[in-house]
Amino acid sequence: MKNSAPIRVFLVEDSLVALTILKRILASSLEVDVVGTAPNGVEALERIPAAQPQVICTDLHMPKMDGLELTRRIMADYPRPILVISTSVNTQEDSRNVFKLLQAGALDVFPKPSIESLSDYEHVKHELINRIKVLAGVTVFTRHTSRTATVEPRTHPVSPKSKPEEFNLKPVSNSQFPIRNSPSLPKVVAIGASTGGPQALYTILKQLPANFPVPIVCVQHISEGFLQGLVDWLAAECFLRVMIAQPGEFPKPGTVYFAPERQHLQLDTQGRLITISTPPVSGHRPSVTVLFQAVATCYPRSAVGILLTGMGRDGADGLQAIAQAGGTTIAQDEQTCVVFGMPKEAIALGAAQHILAISEIAPMLLNRICYINSKHS
């Protein structure tokens, strides 16, 4: 970035204090240039065309037009990478609404800096500027509000409005996703994701039935304070149970378990969930690699590992561990990743047996896992 023009950023924030803090943080970097501000969505839409920002940062709650409607309008008329900067994680409703912005096209969430948070100014500055740098390299496309952002399942089509609790899991054709060497009955699905992960997880989990026959364990890199909101949003949108993992619990079929904030998620020798506070791996705690390695040890030949969009290389070594243990491994393809970092590293290692578009992952799980379970029932 040293020899290139600074990233053009537009800030939409109705709090003068928060706006001042954000401008101070971004002004401290030669890599970022604030090219405009607005106190609400209405004024933002008037000013964005002339400002031509590369990244837009918006709050959720604002007068006249909130962040959700603004995101929808931007993605329909002036598609740009959008970073949600919000403190709205105190109530379940607000937590879900933050993630509705991601569903509408925003790419990431970040906690709104406050006077109190400036005690850790350098950390906040580094994290915010790094998020903006990542998003500045993302290409986004126009989203018309009349279109659905989800992909309906090809194997078991269902109207989203009916929300049935179960699908009829009969054997289905597996010609599109062949089963290699009659693998062992899958007992767990492990998923890792970072930037763009909430949207990718939504696309996968929305297509799976409540009676999905194995548990799902996940690590999602996300700013502290937003995990519960992600869980609440996915739980409200999907048929599966979604929760934060509790130590000592045996994972149950039809349930999605997320690693807690600041804790690695593992499995003990009996298959129970455990959390540990050992140092970060690949700069992350929770780490995808830590979870994947534990799954490979606990469920050799009977685990499915899925590595989704995200920056860096967390999860690449873990996906390789699952592959080497005889499990099934999937990496999201470049075309559908928000950031093709983690999957790219896994593919370079030869750890990914399947490289799939995000819309193809749930159908593969339904074909592979539900087909094999039906054969064994």
Domains (range + CATH), the chain = 7-136 (3.40.50.2300), 188-376 (3.40.50.180)
Strands 216-220 and 255-258 come out as parallel
pLDDT tens for each residue of the chain, 377 residues long = 455 899 999 999 999 999 999 999 999 999 999 999 999 999 999 999 999 999 999 999 999 999 999 999 999 999 999 999 998 555 666 677 889 999 999 999 999 988 776 678 888 999 999 999 999 999 887 766 544 343 333 333 333 334 445 555 543 333 344 434 335 689 999 999 999 999 999 999 999 999 999 999 999 999 988 999 999 999 999 999 999 999 999 999 999 999 999 999 999 989 999 999 999 999 999 999 999 999 999 999 999 999 999 999 999 999 999 999 999 999 999 999 999 999 999 999 999 999 999 999 999 999 888 655 555 55
Candidate list 86, 194, 282, 287, residue with the active-site label: 194
Only one residue has tokens 């064994």, namely: 376
Residue 144 a catalytic site member: no
Residue-level length of the chain: 377
Residue 194 a catalytic site member: yes
193 vs 61, 67, 260, 322, CA distance in Å? 27, 24, 14, 16
Residue 120 a catalytic site member: no
Coil, strand, or helix at residue 3?
Answer: coil
230 vs 53, 242, 253, 344, 354, CA distance in Å? 28, 10, 20, 25, 27
Candidate list 156, 221, 264, 284, residue with the active-site label: 221
Q: How many CB atoms lie within 10 A of CB 187?
A: 20
Coil, strand, or helix at residue 257?
Answer: strand
Q: If you write DSSP's letter for every residue of 9-77 in order, what string do you get? A: EEEE-S-HHHHHHHHHHHHT-TTEEEEEEESSHHHHHHHHHHH--SEEEE-S--SSS-HHHHHHHHHHH
Candidate list 108, 314, 317, 333, residue with the active-site label: 314
Q: How many CB atoms lie within 10 A of CB 86?
A: 26
